[in-house]
Amino acid sequence: MISRRRFLGAAGAAPSVFAADRKLEITSVKAVPFRLLGTGRFGTSKFESDHDPARSRWFGPFSQLAGAILVQIRTKQGITGYGMGGGGGAAVYVIENHMKDLLLGANPLNVELLWEQIFASSSFYGRKGIAIQALSGIDLALWDIAGKRAGVPCWQLLGGQVRDKVRAYFTGGNLEAGLKLGFTAFKLPMPHGPADGGDPRKKIVDMLTAARKTIGSENLLMIDVLCRWDVPFTLEMAERLQDVRLHFIEEPILPDDLSGYEKLCREVKGTRIASGEHEYTHYGFDILLRHQAAHFLQPDLTWSGGLTTGRRVATMAAAKSVPVLPHRGGSAFGMQLVISHPNCPMAESFGTGEPGNELMALCTAPFANGYYSAPQGPGMGVEFPDALLKKHAPSLV
């Protein structure tokens, strides 16, 4: 066992500091769908016509938390790591039929080496999307093993806490529930846009004026557009909403419209633009930074490449004075980065005040009075009891 003194002397370094520990060996890699929320919250697969706007809003079973997966990596020495990824059954197939080959027999403490090898070997069909969502779960499971081997939380591997708690923002439509929980920052999903017909502008202004009245003048208010708008509509609505004082508009347009995000960041007035929830790896975020295409970056550690990607992005963004607000940063996985990096000033809610299930509750970081704090257990600080696995993921027991 590596001594705490020796480990803390290398704080801030990657787990490659354990490379001399050649006894660890991966003997099992499994992945299963790990549905935290239902697909129905993202629309329906029943459409009225070829032109029905709902066709672009049906995200299917492989996106968001409806497509979560749980990766389990076991070692010969009895240490088991867990990591959450995305991509549903498609990502599980990628892990079982390709990525697992690069893990069996390897030393799990070579986290960054394995990340680079898996990324390179899957890049001809991967680079973004499902392959990286699969890699994310693997990476988080490897970090979990590294923390458990050292007997410390993963945030200690990153250099320790820069704060003892972090301000949380509540994502959801029930603002009153968020206020009762102690939140002082709120993000509303935006259901209205140009494709709706009629006069969506008035609906948006009325909705956000009422929201501002509900939460009060002192609290932060943001919106998540889910890529429903276009550039002219976003600039117009930012102007109309200046009295509402939006902290940011999240993903107003599709993530691949780089020139559109550049224009928005140059010209938007009265608010700022957040993006990156659907970007992948530090390579993708480097492009956003170089093109000044976001005022806030929002990597999701369970989709964008794991903790290895997250810490790279946070450091890159800090050099450009761009804050990082990890998507669903209130999870036990996201909090490892948020609590240890000075460039992560807020954490988005995860499981707190929303209709999740017992799996989601298990993966939520400690929360009290509008703030998240770091999980204190070794690794990711999440343990999955056999009884729960037998119920939700029996193949992992």
- By C-alpha distance, which of 203, 360, 279, 322 is closest to 188? 203
Residues 259 and 144 in one domain: no
Q: Looking at residue 153, what DSSP letter applies?
A: B
Residues 173 and 309 in one domain: yes
> What value does the mean pLDDT take over residues 101-117?
98
Residues 119 and 216 in one domain: no
**Confidence at residue 41, expressed as pLDDT on a 0 to 100 scale:** 66
CA dist., res. 105 & res. 25, Å (int)? 5
- Model confidence band, residue 198 (pLDDT cutoffs 50, 70, 90): confident
Domain enclosing residue 372, as ranges: 157-395
Residues 345 and 242 in one domain: yes
> What value does the mean pLDDT take over residues 197-203?
90
- Model confidence band, residue 21 (pLDDT cutoffs 50, 70, 90): low
Of the residues 153, 180, 197, which one is the last residue of a structural domain? 153
Residues 340 and 196 in one domain: yes
> What value does the mean pLDDT take over residues 255-272?
98
* pLDDT surpasses 70 at 357: yes
* pLDDT surpasses 50 at 55: yes
Residues 297 and 349 in one domain: yes
Of the residues 102, 126, 153, which one is the last residue of a structural domain? 153
* pLDDT surpasses 80 at 20: no
Answer whether 255's CB lies under 8 Å from 230's CB: no
* pLDDT surpasses 60 at 389: yes
> What value does the mean pLDDT take over residues 44-52?
89
* Angle CA 280–282–284, to nearest 5: 50
- By C-alpha distance, which of 260, 312, 319 is closest to 291? 260
**Confidence at residue 351, expressed as pLDDT on a 0 to 100 scale:** 92
- Which CATH number belongs to the domain containing residue 45 in this structure? 3.30.390.10
**Confidence at residue 9, expressed as pLDDT on a 0 to 100 scale:** 39
* pLDDT surpasses 90 at 210: yes
* pLDDT surpasses 50 at 6: no
- Model confidence band, residue 23 (pLDDT cutoffs 50, 70, 90): confident
Report the percentage of the chain scoring pLDDT > 90. 83
SS3 374: coil
**Confidence at residue 39, expressed as pLDDT on a 0 to 100 scale:** 66
pLDDT tens, residue by residue, 309-339: 999 999 999 999 999 999 999 999 999 999 9
- Global pTM reads 0.93
Number of H helices and number of E strands within the chain?
14, 12
Buried b (16+ CB within 10 A) or exposed e, 34-69: bbbbebeebbeeeeeeeeeeeeebeeebbbbbbbbb
Q: Quote the tokens at residue 373.
A: 């704090």
Residues 239 and 227 in one domain: yes
Residues 162 and 223 in one domain: yes
**Confidence at residue 40, expressed as pLDDT on a 0 to 100 scale:** 65
* pLDDT surpasses 90 at 63: no
- Model confidence band, residue 123 (pLDDT cutoffs 50, 70, 90): very high
> What value does the mean pLDDT take over residues 235-252?
98
Residues 122 and 165 in one domain: no
Average predicted confidence (pLDDT) for the chain: 92
Q: Give the catalytic positions in this structure.
A: 327
Residues 77 and 167 in one domain: no
pLDDT tens, residue by residue, 143-157: 999 999 999 999 999
Residues 365 and 317 in one domain: yes
**Confidence at residue 43, expressed as pLDDT on a 0 to 100 scale:** 77
CA dist., res. 68 & res. 81, Å (int)? 17
**Confidence at residue 10, expressed as pLDDT on a 0 to 100 scale:** 38
* pLDDT surpasses 80 at 34: yes
Residues 207 and 119 in one domain: no
- Which CATH number belongs to the domain containing residue 322 in this structure? 3.20.20.120
**Confidence at residue 188, expressed as pLDDT on a 0 to 100 scale:** 98
Q: Quote the tokens at residue 285.
A: 């975020």
- By C-alpha distance, which of 247, 191, 240, 190 is closest to 215? 247
Number of domains in the chain: 2
**Confidence at residue 11, expressed as pLDDT on a 0 to 100 scale:** 41
